[in-house]
Amino acid sequence: MPKSKQRKGTTENGRLYLKLRSGTWLLIKGHGTTTPASGTRVVGLIGESLDGEPMVRNEKIDTIYISAFKITRYLLKILEEEIKGTLLALPVTKDTYKIEIYGAPKNYVNKLIKLAEEMKALKIPKKKV
């Protein structure tokens, strides 16, 4: 039987939401690990589904575009830090997600951009002509 361990992210000061491609919204509560019989540790997000869209009362500060192939790893890295404000992760295209940041200080936004750059997950949106 696989072992399972749950660790919470530090989300006391903020919230992280993820919209799945199916349209379902999740409130990300933390991350957990499981070790199947093969012995390889698997890390994933832990969340609860919402009825409808999340309520955001703060002002939108910025938007960051992230590679869809690295979105889970990026969200796990965000959970390791203290979340400030409200973050919404939404699919834009097959290859891109966008992180909308509400009510967070500018230095926190810069920290999120730097994290994405370090992971080589930052995407520049293509301009419409």
pLDDT (tens place) for every residue of the chain, 129 residues total:
444 444 444 445 689 999 999 999 999 998 888 877 777 888 888 899 999 899 888 899 999 999 999 999 999 999 988 889 999 999 999 999 999 999 999 999 999 999 999 999 998 766 554
> Which domain range does residue 87 map to?
3-118
Q: How many domains is the chain partitioned into structurally?
A: 1
Q: Are 16 and 29 contacting, i.e. CB atoms less than 8 angstroms apart?
A: no
Whether 68 maps to a domain, the answer reads yes
Whether 39 maps to a domain, the answer reads yes
What's the token pair of residue 112?
């999120």
Pairing between strand 42-49 and 25-35?
antiparallel
Whether 88 maps to a domain, the answer reads yes
Instruction: State pTM to two decimals.
Output: 0.81
Q: Are 32 and 4 contacting, i.e. CB atoms less than 8 angstroms apart?
A: yes
Whether 129 maps to a domain, the answer reads no
Whether 62 maps to a domain, the answer reads yes
Whether 126 maps to a domain, the answer reads no
